[in-house]
Amino acid sequence: MAGKSPWGNGGGDDGGEGGSSGDDSKGGGPRNPWLPGSGGDGKRRSANIEDIFKNRGPEGPRRRGGGPRGPNLRLPQRPGGKSWLPLIIGGVALAWIGLSSVHFVQPREQGIVTWLGGKYSSTLNPGTNFSLPYPIQQVTVENVSQIRSAKIPEGNQEKLILTGDQNLVDLSYLVRWNIKNLTDYQFQLEEPEETILEAAEAAMRASVAEQPLDRVLSGEGRAEIEQRVMARMQAMLDGYRAGIAVQGIEIDKTDPPQQVIEAFNDVLAAQQDAERDINQAQRYAQQLLARAEGDAEAFNQIYGEYRLAPEVTRRRLYYETMESVLSKTDKTIIEADGVTPYLPLPEVQRRAREAQQQAQQAGGQ
C-alpha cells in the first residue's frame, strides 16, 4: 500500500508539480500550508512560487490583517505632487555658497585667498569681498595694523649676553612689531613669530658686543643699543622677505649675573664715589676760575680809570686799601692836636656792656 503524501494523496508520477491533486472527500488529507486561503472543503492545488508571492505588494508582504509591515515614512509633497527634497537641497547649497563666498574685511584687516592645496590666489582689502565657496577657496583674515609684542626671555629666566669688555650682563627686552605685507608673512616663513625672536636675539647680541659694560648699564648706552638692534633686526627680516615691520625695541632690565652681583655692587659704589669726587674737584676749579676772571676784569676797569686820572685813582686806591686793613683791628688812631693818639674804643665798649649786664642782674635779684 503506497504511503500518502502530506500534501495530498499518495505520491505518483501522475500528479502536478508538487504532487497529485485528489479529491478531499476521498483522501481527507491536510491542506497545503503554503496556499493561503485554501479552504478545507475546496480542492487542493499544487504549491507554486507565484502563489506564495502573489499577495506581496510594493510595500512588502502583507500580514493576515492586511496592514503593511513596518512604518511608512514619506516626505510631504508640494501641491503639484512633487517632492520638497530638491528645493531643500538647493536652499542649503545656496546658503552655503553665500556664507562661504562673501567676506567682510574690517578697516585694519586684510585677507588672503588660497586654493584647495594652499596655493596663493589673491589679497582681500578692507570692505566687502567675494571668493569661490569653501572648500574650493579658503580665506584667512589677519589684523595687519595691530602692534604685537614679544618679551625675551619669557618670564623671569636669565639671559646672559657678552659685552665689549668681556663682561656678562643679564638683559631682558621687549620687541614690538606688526605685519606690513600679509602675503609674505603667510607664505615666506614657516614660523614667523619664532623667526622674530631669533632675529631679535641675534641683533641684540651683536649690538651689546660693541659696547662696554658701563655703557650698557647707562641710560644713554641703552638708547643707542635699542636703535642699533631695531635697524639690524629690520634689515635681517627684510632679507628674509618676512613681511614684518619692527616698531621698537625696549630694554627692560640690565643687571649683572646673580653669582657676582655683590662684587659688582661694590665696584659700582666705588665708581660712584670716584665720580662724586671728580665732580666736586671740577666744581671747585670752576669757582676759582670764575673768581680769577672777575678779579682780572675789575683790574682792567681800574687800570682804565687810572690812565684817565692817575692821582685821583692812586689816592682812592690807598684809602680803600687802608680801610679794608684797619677795619679788621680793634684800635683807632687819630691825628689831631690835644687828642690822645691811641683810643681803645673796643675795650671801652666791652666794659660798658659788662657794666650794663651786671646792673641788669642786680635789678633782677
Q: Give the tens place of pLDDT for each residue, 139-184.
A: 888 888 899 999 998 877 888 899 998 888 889 999 999 999 888 9
Burial of 48 (0-12, 13-18, 19+ CB in 10 A): middle
Predicted local distance difference test score (pLDDT) of residue 236: 95
Per mean pLDDT, which of 9-23, 32-46, 215-229, 256-270 is the most reliable? 215-229
pLDDT at residue 251 tops 70? yes
pLDDT at residue 78 tops 80? no
Mean pLDDT of 92-114: 79
Per mean pLDDT, which of 23-32, 179-188, 230-239 is the most reliable? 230-239
Which position has the higher pLDDT, 268 or 11? Answer: 268
Predicted local distance difference test score (pLDDT) of residue 219: 81
Which position has the higher pLDDT, 251 or 360? Answer: 251
The predicted model scores a pTM of 0.49
Predicted local distance difference test score (pLDDT) of residue 362: 80
Predicted local distance difference test score (pLDDT) of residue 248: 94
75 falls in which pLDDT band (50, 70, 90)?
A: low
Strand-strand pairing, 127-130 and 102-105: antiparallel
Q: Say how many Å lie between the first and final Cα of the chain, rounded.
A: 181
16 falls in which pLDDT band (50, 70, 90)?
A: very low
Run of H or E including 322: helix 310-326
237 falls in which pLDDT band (50, 70, 90)?
A: very high
Per mean pLDDT, which of 102-116, 197-211, 258-272 is the most reliable? 197-211
pLDDT at residue 20 tops 50? no
Query: pLDDT averaged over the chain?
Result: 77
As given in the structure block, the three cell numbers for residue 269 are 659704589
Mean pLDDT of 228-251: 94
Predicted local distance difference test score (pLDDT) of residue 292: 93
Predicted local distance difference test score (pLDDT) of residue 257: 81
Per mean pLDDT, which of 49-53, 70-74, 349-353 is the most reliable? 349-353
Measured distance CA(203)–CA(11) in Å, rounded: 108
Which position has the higher pLDDT, 23 or 309? Answer: 309
Distances in Å between the alpha carbon of 121 and those of 55, 115, 118, 159, 306? 64, 6, 9, 42, 96
Mean pLDDT of 248-265: 84
Percentage of the residues of the chain whose pLDDT score is greater than 70: 72
Which position has the higher pLDDT, 1 or 165? Answer: 165
Predicted local distance difference test score (pLDDT) of residue 127: 77
Which position has the higher pLDDT, 285 or 120? Answer: 285
> How many other C-beta atoms lie within 10 A of the C-beta of residue 290?
10
Predicted local distance difference test score (pLDDT) of residue 48: 57
Which position has the higher pLDDT, 349 or 315? Answer: 315
What is the SS3 assignment for 103? strand
As given in the structure block, the three cell numbers for residue 19 are 504532487
210 falls in which pLDDT band (50, 70, 90)?
A: very high
204 falls in which pLDDT band (50, 70, 90)?
A: very high
Predicted local distance difference test score (pLDDT) of residue 98: 67
* Residue carrying the nine cell digits 690822645: 340
